[in-house]
Amino acid sequence: MFYDTSSYRLPMPGMRDDRDHAIVVLLPMESRRLIARGILQMPEVERALDSGIVLVCRGISSSYVVEELTDLRFDDRGHCTQGIVTDGRLASTVMDKAIGPWVFRDGKLSDQPFAEALHEFTATDVAIKGANAVDPDGNVGILSGAPDGATIGMLWPIVTPRGSHLISAVGLEKLIPSVPDAAKRTGIHVIKHPMDIPVGLIPVTSSQVVTEIQALEILTGVTATHVASGGVAGSEGAVILVVEGVEAVVLKAFELVQSIKGEAAVPMPELAAGV
């Protein structure tokens, strides 16, 4: 479970809890930046960047990983994905403006085709992909309007039997009660009244999930607890976390979150005709 709190031991009655505490607020784009930095400090990712293949799939969250790895900056970030939820709709961006995916070999950006690199995967190689849903059991869900499941439909049957690393970058704004239950209620040929594209939710049950909780632990050593969500007037989708630990790591986490405040919103991409 990605909500595992086994490392936290409640103080015995009459004992003082000497852990330090802070509360932080992360907006969705700030969370993506934080999660990207956390992913890049995971041992399996560092190893693959040193010697191996790292595939970064198309996606808004994925684009932050690429920015942290390179000098690239995506002012047109909305075109880093195809399927997109924007303007209150399930939409698709125009293909001729597509940005990504990205292949890194031994830490260097490569022009090798994504599918070709994927077919070379071994157990120590890494694929990084965003998601549209995550549940308390660590399952993620990926919406797809493509009959073949698009990227995850290509990726999943290869990384799973080979024992490769699939890392899901997903913020807690996307938390739902149960991915398997939600998946049973979707489907391209099930949804009769879509807004605007009918989709299925593909459940992924064994990826390494990185939310704000894992990112803060990886980067600073704190224990983070999701305590609230939401807001208005630009704070819609906010995630509120309490971070705990010794004073030094709590201050490190607090300062880290402060340093990424003000991450720019994603501008509206050009959407496919008829969507």
**What integer pLDDT is reported at residue 260 of this predicted model?**
97
> What's the CATH architecture for 30-208?
3-Layer(aba) Sandwich (3.40)
**What integer pLDDT is reported at residue 2 of this predicted model?**
53
Token readout for 141 is 């869900």
Token readout for 126 is 């890494």
Token readout for 189 is 């040929």
Torsion of CA 207, 211, 213, 217, to 10 degrees: 70
Phi, psi of 143 (to 5 degrees): -75, 135
pLDDT in tens, the chain (275 residues): 554 544 333 344 444 467 899 999 999 999 999 999 999 999 999 999 999 999 999 999 999 999 999 999 999 999 999 999 999 999 999 999 999 999 999 999 999 999 999 999 999 999 999 999 999 999 999 999 999 999 999 999 999 999 999 999 999 999 999 999 999 999 999 999 999 999 999 999 999 999 999 999 999 999 999 999 999 999 999 999 999 999 999 999 999 999 999 999 999 999 997 54
**What integer pLDDT is reported at residue 246 of this predicted model?**
96
**What integer pLDDT is reported at residue 175 of this predicted model?**
98
**What integer pLDDT is reported at residue 131 of this predicted model?**
98
pTM: 0.93
**What integer pLDDT is reported at residue 205 of this predicted model?**
95
Number of CB atoms found within 10 A of residue 76's CB: 15
**What integer pLDDT is reported at residue 10 of this predicted model?**
37
Number of CB atoms found within 10 A of residue 97's CB: 12
